[in-house]
Structure 1
Amino acid sequence: MRRESSTSFHLILRAQQNKVERGTSISVVIPTLDEAKDIVSLLATLAPVRAVGGEILVVDGDSPDGTAGLAAPYADQVLSAPRGRAVQMNAGAAAARGDLLVFLHADTRAPIDTLLRLPDLLARSGRSWGRFDVRIEGRHPLLPLVAWSMNQRSRLTGIATGDQTIFVDRALFEQVGGYPEIALMEDIALSRRLKRHSPPLRVRDRVVTSGRRWESKGVLRTILLMWRLRLAYALGVHPDRLSHVYGYRSRPD
């Protein structure tokens, strides 16, 4: 605990020292649904973003567990939006003030030092969007293979998933129309739009995402389900139909 606090302190101090040198502000957009258990710890890790002049926006999908209230002291804005990641992330982007939008899932932790350097990394690469490599946290021995496959597939195709924490220049995000507001595959659809402008910047430093989705439903079963959904989407099946297979929870009336 002391070690984590010390690390966070030094990152905040470094961010404050470099604040004047950074010309591009960062807006981290976090869509949430029933994340009361972990939202405070996630936002605490992002304190250096605020120290450097960036902002944190939590966009809640009407969580009944009090996520929004818990997030309020640790975020610059806590918004409410109709349930659905695409809708929530678009709402956050519309309210954001930063030049660089970072879309972070609530069950994912980003390497903060690298996150703070994203404007510089993009400027040097000449690209306007990108994603991180990912590691999946969990006990199942297949999870490292799942993460490796995700990273390799993304490198070969230029398509990113939300688990890899997509980041994009605001002007380009607005130019392509933001996330398509579909129930599933919004990350794939956005990547396709962005890829027309340039390949993504691949940041090798890994974000760490929770393996709870795989472990709760069974790792092999979830792998097969995701392959099935991706194939169906590639063949033209509408995401609204696929969402019922996935078990997507729509907003209650």
Structure 2
Amino acid sequence: MTPAPRLSIIIPTLDEAEVIDDVLQSLQDYTARGVELIVVDGGSSDDTVARATRLASRLIQSAPGRARQMNAGARISRGNLLLFLHADTRLPHCADRLVANALSGSHCWGRFDISLEGRHPLLPLIGFAMNWRSRLTGIATGDQALFMTRQAFDRAGGFPDQPLMEDIEMSRRLQGHSAPACLEQRASSSGRRWDEAGAWATIWLMWRLRFRYWRGESADSLAREYRHVR
């Protein structure tokens, strides 16, 4: 019998044909070491599925919604460690070993620091602020490649079935079990939303939505505004 992989990397996708080849190619060294690579597509209308099928360990279809897709991937995964990766994010070198080491002690979940790639000169400062905000609050964003033990995922009840802020809510749930392991090694994520919409406009939008979520406004209401602005 083939032994279960220690780490499963789960990537939710929706119309990511432009980037999916690159991210999956960057993970081939991991699959050679026994890491399971699962792509969960939410109904792409482009070439995402055909491209991902060639390089992923498994590809499944799911109802759209990042939280739903990540939960679907976790349900079929075989690893006892789970890492959730956005399609436009690249992991640091030897991330599988870094995650295993981080979760071998008192931490049951964590995230990487982040660096943002793009044209805007403010992106390094934005990445710096995201990393320090995460350290101070214990809240991680999906861009930072959240990882956790399967036990912690199950005890948290998985990602909440909501269309926005699922990473914030998941962080809150996981904080009840341990503080996050905040790894200094950096995941590299696309700064395309800041490049396309403008850095200050995007910062203002995200902070406004986060504040309203903290005040108790529903994720469904915030998601409607987010989609309208996008």
TM over 0.5: yes
Note the 1:1-253 alignment, pairs <5 A. Answer: 25-123=6-104, 125-247=105-227
Helix, strand or coil: the match of 2:17?
A: coil
Q: Which TM-score applies when normalising by structure 1?
A: 0.87
The answer to whether the Cα contact below 8 Å between 1:48 and 1:112 also exists between their aligned partners in 2 is no
TM superposition shift of 1:24? 6.7
For structure 1, which runs of at least 5 residues remain unmatched after alignment? 1-22
Helix, strand or coil: the match of 1:111?
A: coil
Helix, strand or coil: the match of 1:247?
A: helix
Helix, strand or coil: the match of 2:221?
A: helix
Code of the residue aligned with 1:233 in structure 2: it is Y
- Superposed CA deviations along residues 118-161 of structure 1, whole A, max 9, x for unmatched, are 112321x4211000000000111111111111100100011100
Code of the residue aligned with 2:137 in structure 1: it is T
* Distance in 1 of aligned mates of 2:90 and 2:57: 18
The answer to whether the Cα contact below 8 Å between 2:160 and 2:169 also exists between their aligned partners in 1 is yes
TM superposition shift of 1:37? 1.2
Code of the residue aligned with 1:106 in structure 2: it is A
Helix, strand or coil: the match of 1:112?
A: coil
* Distance in 2 of aligned mates of 1:101 and 1:209: 19
The answer to whether the Cα contact below 8 Å between 2:5 and 2:78 also exists between their aligned partners in 1 is no
- Superposed CA deviations along residues 155-214 of structure 1, whole A, max 9, x for unmatched, are 001110001100000011011100001010000000000001111001100000000011
The answer to whether the Cα contact below 8 Å between 2:103 and 2:148 also exists between their aligned partners in 1 is no
* Distance in 2 of aligned mates of 1:248 and 1:29: 28
Larger of the two Rg values belongs to structure = 1
The answer to whether the Cα contact below 8 Å between 1:49 and 1:116 also exists between their aligned partners in 2 is no
Code of the residue aligned with 1:42 in structure 2: it is V
Which runs of at least 4 in structure 1 moved beyond 2 Å after TM superposition? 114-117
For structure 2, which runs of at least 5 residues remain unmatched after alignment? none
- 1:185/1:96 Cα in 2 relative to 1: closer, same or farther (>3 Å)? same
* Distance in 2 of aligned mates of 1:202 and 1:74: 29
* Distance in 1 of aligned mates of 2:18 and 2:116: 19
The answer to whether the Cα contact below 8 Å between 2:5 and 2:36 also exists between their aligned partners in 1 is no
The answer to whether the Cα contact below 8 Å between 2:92 and 2:187 also exists between their aligned partners in 1 is yes
TM superposition shift of 1:82? 1.1
TM superposition shift of 1:248? 7.1
The answer to whether the Cα contact below 8 Å between 1:45 and 1:112 also exists between their aligned partners in 2 is no
Code of the residue aligned with 2:66 in structure 1: it is R
Helix, strand or coil: the match of 1:74?
A: coil
* Distance in 1 of aligned mates of 2:187 and 2:73: 21
Moved more, 240-249 or 57-66: 240-249
Helix, strand or coil: the match of 2:18?
A: coil
* Distance in 2 of aligned mates of 1:54 and 1:237: 38
